[in-house]
Structure 1
């Protein structure tokens, strides 16, 4: 028999341990899990259900589901914005290195190369320090120090990313900041020198970094420096 006209259906309060007859909460839970469209097929039940909520009092299942969907959407939007930010930063870095390589090809001296590296890497990419240590010439690294770096930091590759010892930092950067560093060995036969770039962030340069852009920079310097030094 239907309810009397004008009388509202009484709300059914769902408690965590609600039981009726021989049906327990776990069975109701399993049934609803196996039949996710149950309330779609029986919408009249939603009018009688009241679910306690710590912050908002009582809300319907539809409202609760909507809130969960909104929360997921906010999380997805946050992740998407993060990805977009990373993509924009990567595009900026790519353009900076592309322009830098072109400018290096126009340099007329090693001093010009040093200034251009400082101008671009420090001012545009906000890196803390840049130094070009050659193996020949008046400002060359002594042979002992040269071997120290080559044998210790370039055993398997012509790149090193990470933290340096205090002695190594002083040899390459002097008093400049270099909490973490990228070292690039120059010369097709390891005979030119080392390009060292320092960051004030100890976690900026890490061993798992991609070397694509730095390898292109290395190749450009391997072309330009020998000509300028008369090799």
Structure 2
């Protein structure tokens, strides 16, 4: 009686084979004909599905393919949206370039940048400030504190081409007056004589991981236009 109970208990336990998942995987990769030889067994393999209960291997493969197709469609849709947005930015940059050519003052340049880029980039503010006393060609919205602006640029940029992130209340007031800004992008233009600031109401809009390809192009374009303007003014 004792022997029979032991036998029944052993039969109820799953067969313990001294192979781990990696060994099984390595064996199947080394023997691709395994499933062809075991086609009858393969047809009866069942998997547990959280929603559908027990399903066959074929059903599991179809589910996997559907999941992959869904992911691919989502990726394609996302890429198409990015491509469409980049096309809009490219067209706007072309429009900006044409609009900047006849500008006769830095104030005109600032206005064109604001008009064309603010809505496109979803920004709350774009401002441009001098870092030296070139009062004959800077916007005169309010008295310019060159020392404070220069100190801000040195502190935030620290010999880097861009700064992305949040600003304290003093810096925001200096750059954007009372305009709502939660994150900002800063860059210098034309031999570091002008500070250009972009502001967003989204605290995560400008962050250190931001792609700078388009900003590089904008920086080169504005610097070239500002240089031409200065050369025309001073002969």
Q: Say whether the fold is shared (TM-score over 0.5).
A: yes
Match of 2:5 in 1: none
Match of 1:205 in 2: 206
Question: For the residues of structure 2 that align with 1:150 and 1:54, how far apart are their CA atoms?
Answer: 57
Match of 2:73 in 1: 77
Question: For the residues of structure 2 that align with 1:36 and 1:70, how far apart are their CA atoms?
Answer: 24
In the TM superposition, residue 208 of structure 1 has moved relative to its aligned partner by 4.2
Which deviations, in whole Å up to 9, do the C-alpha atoms of 1:8-42 show, x marking residues without a partner? xxxxxxxxx754xxx74958992884545534444
Structure 1's unaligned 5+ residue stretches are 1-16
Looking at secondary structure, tell me which structure has more helix per residue.
2
**Are the aligned partners of 2:189 and 2:219 in contact in 1 as well (CA < 8 Å)?**
no
**Are the aligned partners of 1:159 and 1:182 in contact in 2 as well (CA < 8 Å)?**
yes
Please give the TM-score of this superposition, normalised by the length of structure 1: 0.74
1:101 aligns with 2:97: yes
The residue correspondences of 1:1-231 to structure 2 (distance < 5 A) are 18-19=14-15, 24=17, 30=24, 33-34=28-29, 35=31, 37-134=33-130, 135=132, 136-137=134-135, 138=140, 139=142, 141-188=144-191, 190-191=192-193, 193-209=194-210, 210=212, 211-227=215-231, 230=234
**Are the aligned partners of 1:18 and 1:25 in contact in 2 as well (CA < 8 Å)?**
no
Question: For the residues of structure 1 that align with 2:110 and 2:222, how far apart are their CA atoms?
Answer: 14
RMSD of aligned Cα (Å)? 3.1
**Are the aligned partners of 1:131 and 1:196 in contact in 2 as well (CA < 8 Å)?**
yes
User: 1:207/1:39 Cα in 2 relative to 1: closer, same or farther (>3 Å)?
Assistant: closer
Question: For the residues of structure 2 that align with 1:177 and 1:156, how far apart are their CA atoms?
Answer: 27
User: 1:124/1:53 Cα in 2 relative to 1: closer, same or farther (>3 Å)?
Assistant: closer
User: 1:129/1:26 Cα in 2 relative to 1: closer, same or farther (>3 Å)?
Assistant: same
Question: For the residues of structure 1 that align with 2:120 and 2:72, how far apart are their CA atoms?
Answer: 31
Q: How many residues align?
A: 210
In the TM superposition, residue 202 of structure 1 has moved relative to its aligned partner by 1.7
User: 1:227/1:69 Cα in 2 relative to 1: closer, same or farther (>3 Å)?
Assistant: same
| 3-state SS of 1:102 partner | helix
Structure 2's unaligned 5+ residue stretches are 1-12
**Are the aligned partners of 1:101 and 1:220 in contact in 2 as well (CA < 8 Å)?**
no
Question: For the residues of structure 1 that align with 2:44 and 2:176, how far apart are their CA atoms?
Answer: 74
